[in-house]
Amino acid sequence: MSPLRGSTRRWRTSRQRCLRNREARHSSLEGFGRFIDEMLGQERSCWRKQRHSTVRILDRLRNDHSFKGSFPTVQRYVKEKR
């Protein structure tokens, strides 16, 4: 058995463990998704340049709703919904 083969097997196992743990986690956007959906729904009729950017959505979440999540979390959600 080659040393490379053994190390690859360990990597797969640890990767599978990480993916399994990731599925069990809850999103920090719980309760905020409705607000983002509402915001994105209102701006569908707007001109593209007048729409909210992801940074602006994050700012509104933090200022108006005391959101404590990160930018990539909001970015993934907005990208999925648009």
pTM of this structure: 0.61
Digit-coded pLDDT (tens) for 1-27: 555 555 555 556 666 666 665 555 567
pLDDT of residue 52: 81
**Residues 30-46 as b or e (16 or more Cβ within 10 Å = b):** eebeebbeebbeeeeee
26: left (phi over 0), alpha (psi -120 to 50) or beta: beta
pLDDT at 59 over 90: yes
pLDDT at 70 over 80: yes
Count the helices and strands in the chain (H runs, E runs): 4, 0
